[in-house]
Each structure stands twice: as C-alpha cells, then as structure tokens.
Amino acid sequence: MDILSDLLASLPRNEPVRNVLVGVHWTVVCSRHCGMASSIQGEKPHGHEKVRDVGNLHSKTAYQLAEYALSDILLEASIGVAAINSLIDPFDGRKGGYQEINAYDVLVRHGQGKKVALVGHFPFIPKLHSEVGELWVFEQKPVEGEFSVADATKLIPQADVIALTGSALINHTLAGLLELCQPDSTVVVLGPSTPLSPVMFAHGVTLLSGTLIFDEQAVLRTVAQGANFQQVQGVRLVTMAKPGLEN
C-alpha cells in the first residue's frame, strides 16, 4: 500500500466532489479536475459486494473518495483511484513535463530489439509483437501466446522494458510487480487509471503514459453510454517522464 499511501499524502484534503459516474468500463470522478479509472468488480456473485454510501458519494470530499483506493472491494478501489486522478493537477509545477505520446509509441521507442514484459491486455498488443525484440504478455486469464501472472516472477526480472497497467493500483498488485523490476530496466505504467503524479517516480517508475481529460462533458456522456476506451471522447493520451529522462 506504500504507493497509495504516498499518493494520498500528496493530495489536497478539502476539494468538493462535483460528479461521480461508475460506468460499465470506466469510473469517472470530477473534483478539482476530472479523473478516470477502470471499473473493476470482484468475482463474487453480481451485486454481492456493496460500495459504501452509494447515493451520497457526491457529498464527500474528493480526498474521502480517494481513500476508497485502499479498499479490498475492487469497485470501491476503482472509485478511489479515479478520485486520486481527479485531484492531481496535470500542470502544477510541471509545465512542459508532458508530451502527447501514447503508450504504444513509447513502448515501440524503448522496446526495439529488447525484451518487453507487458502486464495487462491492451488492443495494440498484436502490432507491438513486430515492433520490439521479444514481447511477453501477462494476464490473469491468459489466452494462447500469453503468460499467467504466476510466470511474472520468473520473466519480469529478465525484461529490459516492463509495462504495467495502472489498473494494478486498483487490485493492489502494482507494488509487488515493481519489486520484480531490475534497477536498470525501463518501467512504464500505462492506461487511463495511471496517476500522472511524480510520486510514482519515487517507486521505481520511469515513464507514465496516461490520460488527460480536456472535455469533461464528453467523457461523462460517452462513459455513461458504455464506451470502451477507444470510444471515450474528450481525452488526450500523454506521457510524463521521470526528471532527467526522455519520453
């Protein structure tokens, strides 16, 4: 939980919540800014796990919602990570620190001729195979050509480039995955759940490839109507590098 604790410690405490939307694929919280995260549910029967204070989430502070990220109930943690992202000022003290580069291009740039380990299923995987030296994809429920998460312990330490889904913050597996990375490897955290916060760099992350919301209403509208990420409107894909490094 150290990453989440450090993220929470960096956030303002009294920002009001303006909107909370839990969509089928994405969760959005609007407070100081607007942030999103994957909507993840546990494997228990439908509706078995209940989100606390449903109907009153909008009356909490965004920090109170951000603390939901510590929850073992995955949908609560989804709300919490979205709230964390809503409180991170994307330009506060870091103007010029972002480039509009998506995660696929980042991995192509850093993975040419190298061993790349990717935790999470992303639509660009079929293309990425031909762009990097070797690609190992890890999934909770692997299909042909993918590896199980159990294989990560053996293979991630051998990788030159490691790409970890930001959703690993929601299920509390990110810290354990980061511990598998060698100090000289390039570590990318990617996806809309990724907090674009320099706090992440203190935990061994090299690059953050995430999402900035520039049209709040477009995001809320498309997410509410069941959009997958390719259908979400009103977002920009950006990459933030650890100080002293290039994207």
97-110 pLDDT, tens digit per residue, is: 688 999 999 999 99
Mention every residue, 6+ apart, whose C-beta is less than 8 A from residue 19.
28, 29, 30, 34, 58, 216, 220
Give 18: exposed, middle or buried? Use CB within 10 Å, 0-12, 13-18, 19+: middle
Phi-psi category of residue 150: left, alpha or beta, with phi > 0 → left and psi -120 to 50 → alpha: alpha
Q: Letter for the amino acid at 182?
A: Q
3-class secondary-structure state, position 5: helix
Q: Letter for the amino acid at 25?
A: H
Token pair for 173: 């597996």
Specify the range with the lowest mean pLDDT, choosing from 26-30, 92-96, 133-137.
92-96
> Sheet containing 115-119: which strands, arranged edge to edge?
98-99, 235-241, 207-213, 186-190, 161-165, 115-119, 134-139, 147-148
Please report the pLDDT score of residue 125 as a whole number. Answer: 94
b/e map of 182-195 (b: 16 or more CB within 10 Å)? eeebbbbbbbbbbb
The pairing of beta strand 134-139 with beta strand 115-119: parallel
pLDDT of residue 96 exceeding 60: no
Please report the pLDDT score of residue 93 as a whole number. Answer: 45
168 within 8 A of 160, measured Cβ to Cβ: no
3-class secondary-structure state, position 189: strand
pLDDT of residue 33 exceeding 90: yes
Identify which of 134, 158, 21, 154 has the alpha carbon closest to the alpha carbon of residue 82.
21
Most confident of 120-124, 130-134, 239-243: 130-134
- Domains defined along the chain, listed by start: 2-87 (3.30.390.100), 98-212+235-241 (3.40.50.11590)
